[in-house]
Amino acid sequence: MADWQEITGGITAPKGYRAAGITAGLKPSGLPDLALIVSDVEAIAAGVFTTSQVKAACVDYCRQRLQAKQSARAILCNAGQANAATGSQGIKDAEESADLLAKELNISPESILLASTGVIGRRIKMDALRNGIPKLVASLTDAGSDAAAGAIITTDLVTKSIALETTIGDRPVRIGGIAKGSGMIHPNMATMLAFVTCDAAVSPHLWQQMLTRAADRSFNSITVDGDTSTNDSLLALANGQSRTPAITEVGAESEKLEAMLTAVCQHLAKAIARDGEGATCLIEVQVTGAHDEQAARQIAKTIAGSSLVKSAIFGRDPNWGRIAAAAGRAGVPFEQENLQIQLGNFLLLDNGQPLPFDRAAASAYLKQAATGAYLQQDTVLISVNVGNGHGTGKAWGCDLSYDYVKINAEYTT
């Protein structure tokens, strides 16, 4: 049983945080497009970013900030323009964004982290941003999580938010998070943004290690379409306002906090995969029997990312051969005679041997998942065992529908 409980409040559930989201005129749709998260005090900061060689200005900016100073007070996010592949002017725009916000908040620009999302190759609409920042700061509230969550999305159909609470040192400790992402999603980060707040006191080194491991077990284990973005950013703040003793070394308290951080990240990651562009269901792949966790996750990610597997699930076709083929090309050695594949409660392959199964019932299982979209009952579970090893891993994805092509064919038009 989890050693925490879900609470309301999102990123403003932890003590000492305010947030806001407004319409600044960055999106042509007129929808909210500028978000801000602020800690009342300087917070320990950590980040995980895209592995793409083509990176947005905000990614380079944040990496440099976190290398120089592992703390921050604020996260500013604009939606509408990715500010990626925008050359030296894009970098200047990012720096000006931080300077403008710093003056409005009366803090140092070095305490500000940035994120952007939208169309690659387009600079931030700086006139709209300059006019919007005073309004944004004026809108800050300790109940502003939903507004911020709504201002960071692009093609998302739903906002993504979570907050959990546990007890450390007889005091409540909370972690909250919001995220965006729907397309251009693939392991090693994706076109996704995620912001996490925590009110525990943690050493910078431990907080970064926790976040990196949590990312591997969540955002780096989801895929929608196999495309890694230029802007992927996971930023996490820990401000110590819970007044619990500082966690400075690995132990029971650090493990408890990391488990809750991972749960927050996994909730947000699954919400992104569930909201995949054109998706009708969430796919969860569980792999056991590998030689270690990394190998198990690699197999799971390959299966979840297979276009053939995803297409079969959209067509409600229990074609286990595609699952076997994806597992086999994952780059992880295993003996074929040990392979076991299960779809929901249907055992399809055992010890490398095909088994008779009720194809109509298995297809009905896939159809049932499609009708449960956004009701947390929309998960297609694929279980794969590859041997007797101790490694286990999970990955999440979604089916591949006709609408995915339509959405992306018309993205900039």
- Angle formed at CA 407 by CA 403 and CA 410, multiple of 5 degrees: 135
Residue 231: partners with Cβ closer than 8 Å, 6 or more residues away: 50, 55, 56, 58, 59, 82, 84, 115, 116, 117, 191, 193
What is residue 135's three-state secondary structure? helix
Q: How high is the pLDDT of residue 377?
A: 61
Residues composing the chain: 413
Distances (CA, A) of 401 to 116, 276, 277, 298: 27, 10, 9, 24
Q: How high is the pLDDT of residue 275?
A: 78
191 and 64 inside one domain: yes
Burial (CB count <10 Å: 0-12, 13-18, 19+), residue 320: buried
* CATH number of the structural domain spanning residue 30: 3.60.70.12
242 and 363 inside one domain: no
332 and 404 inside one domain: yes
Q: How high is the pLDDT of residue 54?
A: 85
Q: Last residue of a domain, which of 241, 274, 307?
A: 274
For residue 164, the one-letter residue type is L
295 and 380 inside one domain: yes
Q: How high is the pLDDT of residue 119?
A: 85
128 and 49 inside one domain: yes
Helix 204-216 and helix 252-274: axis angle, to 10°? Answer: 40
What is residue 387's three-state secondary structure? coil
State which residues form the domain around 339: 282-409
178 and 296 inside one domain: no
269 and 324 inside one domain: no
Distances (CA, A) of 91 to 47, 56, 59, 60, 69: 19, 9, 10, 9, 19
Q: How high is the pLDDT of residue 190?
A: 46
169 and 79 inside one domain: yes
Rg, C-alpha atoms of the chain = 21
Distances (CA, A) of 12 to 73, 165, 173, 333, 408: 14, 12, 13, 45, 33
102 and 192 inside one domain: yes
- Token pair recorded at residue 227: 């495309």
Q: Last residue of a domain, which of 257, 274, 291?
A: 274
Distances (CA, A) of 324 to 4, 313, 360, 400: 37, 14, 20, 18
Q: How high is the pLDDT of residue 374?
A: 42
Q: 167 an active-site residue?
A: no
- Where do we find the tokens 């979604």? 398
Distances (CA, A) of 342 to 64, 310, 330, 353, 408: 46, 16, 18, 12, 32
pLDDT means over runs of 10, the chain (413 residues): 92 98 95 98 96 88 96 97 93 97 98 93 96 98 98 90 95 97 56 91 98 94 68 94 96 97 95 80 96 96 93 95 97 97 97 97 89 62 97 92 73 53
Q: Last residue of a domain, which of 274, 305, 331?
A: 274
* CATH number of the structural domain spanning residue 336: 3.10.20.340
- Token pair recorded at residue 79: 């939606």
248 and 315 inside one domain: no
Q: pTM here?
A: 0.89
Q: How high is the pLDDT of residue 228?
A: 60
Q: How high is the pLDDT of residue 363?
A: 95
Catalytic one among 117, 155, 191, 288? 191
345 and 213 inside one domain: no
Q: How high is the pLDDT of residue 231?
A: 83
Residue 333: count of CB within 10 angstroms of its CB: 10
243 and 309 inside one domain: no
Number of domains in the chain: 2
What is residue 173's three-state secondary structure? strand
